[in-house]
Structure 1
Amino acid sequence: MMMGKKKVGIITFHASHNYGSMLQAYALQETVLGMGCECEIINFRTERQQEFYRPIFSKGSFVDRLKRSLFYAPYLLAWKKKQQLFERFLKEKYRLSSKEYSTLEELEAATLDYDVYISGSDQIWNISALDFDWAYFLPFAGSSRRVAYAPSMGPLPHQLTFNREKADKTAGLLKNYDYISVREQQTMEIVTQLTDADYYTVTLDPTLLVEPQKWSIMAGEAPLIKGNYIFLYTPWYNADVYEEANRMSKTLKIPIVISLFHDGALANLKIMRRHYHCLLASGPLEFLNLCKFATYTIGKSFHLVAFSILFRKPFFAVNGMEDSRVMDLLKLTGLEQHSVSPIKGFSTVPTKIDFDEVHHRLADARKQSLNWLRESLC
């Protein structure tokens, strides 16, 4: 049954030039719209976030920019195209607030009139994240309903216990919420500890609320890379991921495809010397395409695992069971064996997955998460 036309405002990492961040924001928007609500993403983009996601060659002094431009010369056009693809996705796929905000003070001074405010999802409650801001705890929401849908405190949520001042501030903001769900068990445990309450729940990342067929359509019908390939993705440079992918490539005799460089010249130099197939001009839609048509995927990324599952692709999550975000998803789907230890290697992981059973488990969890969200919006 369709609910009344409530106005919903979502605040999340919608403008982070990160595949998972932008795709989860889109997924939550579409899910709320599908429940019969009016919905906007509050266009909150801090200067710190925008600076962080600027290309490496455009940061620093004139001399630094010149050096980096020379170093990355063969990739400059592709890198610029990548930025454009992220911004195009933001403008074409989101329903944004009419104004853009860059500080919590601007949000507090704005005349926002949403009936319901949603925090989530992604690592918006990770106070160590470089683009974290207290605005993601909705202190500006006034008397409107506050809902947290599947935010994460990151791979190590217990960090809050190390800083009493920040822990107390977080606890005070959490107590203002009407409904709270979180993405991982560890985040739920720390929220429970901070608020001295035990009625919270774990819900699916928004990307898993959207049916695979819709993602498949968005990914396109033609592969960007022809033939068999291993898609390697890790937002941060991780030597274990690259070493394991190199072993896979050599053993299976298929190439490695990557879609980004990292924030360090030494790491990127290592990548350049390996002569990977680099599709640097890749925004969120291109990421979906690379996942959909890959023969295998490997990496250290929650959303790489999520989309590999949705697209029914054999995957290898490097040290996945050591990351609370990935671990919960692997446990939910019964795919713990697909956490790869660099010591044991990918060859110890079964490549055949009963995706019918996996998707059956996901369907049950999806139903529960959608019901929770629907009830929190009523």
Structure 2
Amino acid sequence: MKIGIITFQCAHNYGAVLQAFGLKEVLKSSGNSVNIINYRPPYKINSYRKFNPRNWLSKNPYKCIIRFFTEIIVKPTRIKRWYGFEHFMNKYLDLCPYDKDDDYSAFQALVLGSDQIWNPGLTGGNFDKVYFGGNAKCDIISYAASSRFDSLTEEQKEFFSNALPKLKQVSVRESSLANLLQPIINKKVFTVVDPTLLAGKDIFDKIAISPKEKKYLLLYQIGQWDKLNAFTAKIARKLDLEVIEIVSHPMMPRKGRIQTASPCEFIGYFKNASFVVTTSFHGLAFSLMYNKQFYCLKQNTNADLRLLSLLNKLGLNNRFLEPDEEPAFDNIDFLSVNDKLEKEVQYSKEYLDNALN
């Protein structure tokens, strides 16, 4: 079967490119011909450009000067990081060109997702119809589509009730989103695992690059949060580990801060970590994949829903702490966790097989 995937493959974000790679590899392993459609909307790529005046412009002249000199220091990192992500995309994602007039009739099926493709906050402020299949004449399914909704407005309900019926099958990544969508569409909404977990370490081990560092606590957060940094330092002292932080965007250099890791090196850092602290969904996913002792910190925003949905399924709510909560340092029973996760993976694979066949 010839299958096209539409997702957030162009974002210079570790989770985005690795979930795209994972889904593509899983579909290929079943004997399908698979391409990721290289849709690169301006709202998605503008923030990752090598040269972007927004990195240093400000209405405040003082801030503008500070940002300008900061950008001079950060620029080499930004460029190296940009080339690292673009190299990964071109080498590993089996991209095919996007055409706005394409009806995808060259494909037998179109898979929408995963990642937050149904989050208007990440698609230019509105729902992007490309991520709902556009004018596709082939079968359309969603796989682990995600958003950050904790409720839907009447306008959003109307959009989903009109857009989703043309999909042959609908699946989302979080149970909270499934609960919101189920009452407004006349078909079952499945909840499945993220493609990184669907693919598993057997697939990611093939491209992982191990770091030179030994015995370290890995910190991975989106942005910078002082409370998380303090929490991480406390755990590192307790375990006598060096802190290595992979950052989500270029910033001022600091000891232990890894800014230009390729997606392959990102996997290697998780694979070889002694402990992980994260606020990222994909930070959690790779911690589970490689059976790492970890803690997630609550941000008390809608972003917590993504982590909570997965932690609930695996009985790991005690690994999701408030910023001022004291960690217990008890070890995770990965025999039990892996058994629960494998059942979720098998359920998700069955959904994918049935939806495509």
The reply to whether TM is greater than 0.5 is yes
In the alignment, which residue of structure 2 is the partner of 1:165?
155
In the alignment, which residue of structure 1 is the partner of 2:290?
311
Q: 1:22 aligns with which of 17, 21, 24?
A: 17
Q: By how many angstroms is 1:301 displaced?
A: 0.6
Tell me, yes or no, if the aligned pair for 1:9 and 1:41 is still in contact at 8 Å: yes
Tell me, yes or no, if the aligned pair for 1:231 and 1:296 is still in contact at 8 Å: yes
Counterpart CA distance in 2 for 1:261 and 1:178 is 35
- Structure 1 residues 321 and 33: CA distance shift in structure 2, 3 A: farther
Counterpart CA distance in 1 for 2:55 and 2:178 is 43
Superposed, 1:36-51 pairs within 5 Å as: 36-51=31-46
Q: Secondary structure at the residue paired with 1:217?
A: coil
In the alignment, which residue of structure 1 is the partner of 2:211?
223
**Residue 228 of structure 2 is aligned to residue 233 of structure 1:** no
In the alignment, which residue of structure 2 is the partner of 1:185?
175
Counterpart CA distance in 2 for 1:62 and 1:320 is 27
- Structure 1 residues 135 and 75: CA distance shift in structure 2, 3 A: same
Tell me, yes or no, if the aligned pair for 1:118 and 1:146 is still in contact at 8 Å: yes
The answer for unaligned runs of 5 or more in structure 2 is 59-63
Superposed, 1:119-134 pairs within 5 Å as: 119-130=112-123, 133-134=128-129
**Residue 340 of structure 2 is aligned to residue 340 of structure 1:** no
Tell me, yes or no, if the aligned pair for 1:338 and 1:349 is still in contact at 8 Å: no
Counterpart CA distance in 2 for 1:45 and 1:218 is 24
In the alignment, which residue of structure 2 is the partner of 1:202?
191
* Offset from partner CA, 1:32-55 (integer Å, 9 cap, x none): 111222111111000111102235
Q: By how many angstroms is 1:30 displaced?
A: 0.8
Q: By how many angstroms is 1:320 displaced?
A: 7.6
- Structure 1 residues 193 and 111: CA distance shift in structure 2, 3 A: closer
In the alignment, which residue of structure 1 is the partner of 2:108?
115
In the alignment, which residue of structure 2 is the partner of 1:59?
53
* Offset from partner CA, 1:319-375 (integer Å, 9 cap, x none): 1897221112112222111112212133x242x122222212111111111111011
Tell me, yes or no, if the aligned pair for 1:11 and 1:120 is still in contact at 8 Å: yes
Q: Structure 2 length normalisation: TM-score?
A: 0.89
In the alignment, which residue of structure 2 is the partner of 1:300?
279
- Structure 1 residues 133 and 53: CA distance shift in structure 2, 3 A: farther
In the alignment, which residue of structure 2 is the partner of 1:328?
309
In the alignment, which residue of structure 2 is the partner of 1:259?
246
Q: 1:147 aligns with which of 141, 144, 147?
A: 141
In the alignment, which residue of structure 1 is the partner of 2:200?
211
Q: Structure 1 length normalisation: TM-score?
A: 0.84
Superposed, 1:335-374 pairs within 5 Å as: 335-346=316-327, 348-350=328-330, 352-374=331-353
Tell me, yes or no, if the aligned pair for 2:249 and 2:259 is still in contact at 8 Å: no
- Structure 1 residues 309 and 109: CA distance shift in structure 2, 3 A: closer
Q: By how many angstroms is 1:250 displaced?
A: 3.5
Q: Secondary structure at the residue paired with 2:54?
A: coil
Q: Secondary structure at the residue paired with 2:166?
A: coil
- The residue type paired with residue 236 of structure 1 is G
Q: Secondary structure at the residue paired with 1:357?
A: helix
In the alignment, which residue of structure 2 is the partner of 1:3?
none
* Offset from partner CA, 1:5-40 (integer Å, 9 cap, x none): x21111000111111111000111111111222111
Counterpart CA distance in 1 for 2:16 and 2:143 is 14
**Residue 268 of structure 2 is aligned to residue 289 of structure 1:** yes
- The residue type paired with residue 117 of structure 1 is L
